[in-house]
A and B are shown apart, each in its own frame.
Chain A
Amino acid sequence: METPRIRITVTVNGEAVSEDVPGDRSLLDFLRDDLGLTGTKEGCGEGECGACSVIVGGRLVDACLIFAAEADGRNVETVEGLADGEVLHPLQRAFAAAGAAQCGYCTPGMLMAGKALLDRNPSPTREEAAHGIAGNLCRCTGYGTIIQAVMEAAKES
Chain B
Amino acid sequence: MRVVGQELPRVEILEKVTGQSVFGADVLPGGRVLAGKMVLSPHPHARITAIRTERAERLPGVKAVVTAADLPAIRYGRFVRDEAYFATTKARYAGDRIAAVAAVDEETAEEAARLIEVDYEVLPSVTSGLEAMAPDAPLLHEDYADYWAQPDLDRRGNVCGHKQIVRGDVERGFAEADRIFEHRFHVPMVHQTYIEPHTATARFDASGKATVWASSLALFPLRAAIAQILRMPMTKVRVIPTEIGGGFGGKLSPTVEPAAVVLARKARRPVRIVMSRSEDFQTTNPRHPFHLRYKTGVKHDGTITAREIEVVLGTGFSAGSGVMISQGAAVRAPGPYRVPNLKIDSYCVYTNTSTCGAYRGPAGPQLAFASESQMDIIARELGIDPVELRLRNAMVDGDETPAGARLEDVHAKETLLKAAEAMNAVPRPPGNNVGRGVAMAHWLVGGMASSAGVKLNEDGTVAILTGLVDLSGASTSLAQIAAEVLGVSLDDVHVRTADTDFAPHSTLSAGSQALKSMGGAVLLAAREAKRQIQQVAADKLEADPGDLELDGNTVFVKGSPERAVTLREVGQMALEHARGPIVSTQSVSQLTPHPAIAAHAAEVEVDPETGRVRILRYVAAQDVGTAVNPLSVRGQIEGGVMQGLGQALSEACTFTDGKMDNANLLDYKIFSALDAPPVEVHLVQHPCASGPLGAKGVGEPPIIPPPAVMANAVYDAVGVRIHDLPITPEKIVKALKAKRAAQR
Contacts and interface: CB of A to CB of B under 8 A. Distances in A.
B385 interface: no
A138 B195 contact: yes
Nearest to B12: A104
A137 B194 CA distance: 9
A142 to B, nearest CB: 4
A43 interface: yes
Kindly name the residue among A82, A101, A143 whose own CB sees the greatest number of chain B CB atoms within 10 A.
Answer: A143
A134 B673 contact: yes
Nearest to B244: A103
A34 to B, nearest CB: 13
Contacts of B679: 142, 144
Contacts of A138: 195, 673
B197 A146 contact: no
Kindly name the residue among A92, A101, A105, A145 whose own CB sees the greatest number of chain B CB atoms within 10 A.
Answer: A105
A131 B672 CA distance: 10
Contacts of A78: 19
Contacts of A51: 195-196
Contacts of B247: 103
A102 B664 contact: no
Kindly name the residue among A40, A96, A101, A142 whose own CB sees the greatest number of chain B CB atoms within 10 A.
Answer: A142
Contact of B19 (A40, A46, A103): A40
A142 B277 contact: no
B18 interface: yes
Contacts of B23: 41, 105
Contact of A45 (B17, B276, B634): B276
A142 B276 contact: no
Contact of A97 (B9, B243, B665): B9
A48 B631 contact: no
Given A43-B277, A142-B642, A137 B195 contact: yes
A139 B248 CA distance: 9
A41 B277 CA distance: 13
Contact of B665 (A102, A137, A140, A146): A137
A74 to B, nearest CB: 20
Contacts of A101: 10, 13, 16-17
A133 B196 contact: no
A48 B666 contact: yes
B711 interface: no
B17 A107 contact: yes
B21 interface: yes
A92 B20 CA distance: 13
Interface in B1-59: 9-10, 13-23, 25-26
Interface in B185-208: 192-197
Contact of A140 (B246, B276, B673, B676): B246
Contacts of A92: 17-18
A105 to B, nearest CB: 3
Interface in A8-64: 32, 37-46, 48-49, 51
Interface string B230-256: 000000000000011111100000000
B665 A44 contact: yes
B676 A143 contact: yes
B422 interface: no
Contacts of A137: 195, 665, 670, 672
B643 interface: yes
A103 B57 CA distance: 39
B17 A102 contact: no
A131 B674 contact: yes
A97 B16 CA distance: 12
A50 to B, nearest CB: 9
Contacts of B26: 38
A39 B18 contact: yes
B676 A144 contact: yes
B473 interface: yes
Given A99-B631, A99-B635, A137-B195, A143 B18 contact: no
A96 B9 contact: yes
A105 B276 contact: no
Interface in A116-157: 130-131, 133-147
Interface string A75-88: 00011101100001
B10 A139 contact: no
A49 B17 contact: no
A96 B471 contact: no
A111 B13 CA distance: 13
B168 to A, nearest CB: 40
A90 B545 CA distance: 47
A43 B638 contact: no
A38 B674 contact: no
Interface in B290-308: none
A104 to B, nearest CB: 4
Given A41-B23, A138-B195, A147 B18 contact: no
A97 B9 CA distance: 6
A136 B676 CA distance: 13
Contact of A102 (B192, B193, B639): B639
Contact of B16 (A104, A134, A136, A139): A104
A152 to B, nearest CB: 13
A130 B245 contact: no
30 contacts: A38-B26, A39-B19, A40-B19, A41-B245, A42-B25, A42-B274, A43-B196, A44-B664, A44-B665, A46-B665, A48-B277, A48-B665, A49-B195, A92-B18, A96-B17, A99-B10, A103-B247, A104-B243, A105-B23, A106-B245, A111-B17, A131-B673, A134-B673, A138-B673, A140-B635, A140-B639, A142-B638, A142-B671, A143-B642, A144-B678
- The 4 A-B pairs of least Cβ separation, nearest first, read A39-B19, A105-B245, A104-B16, A142-B642
Interface of B: 9-10, 13-23, 25-26, 192-197, 243-248, 274, 276-277, 471-473, 631-632, 634-635, 638-643, 664-666, 670-674, 676, 678-679
Interface of A: 32, 37-46, 48-49, 51, 78-80, 82-83, 88, 92, 95-97, 99, 101-108, 111, 130-131, 133-147
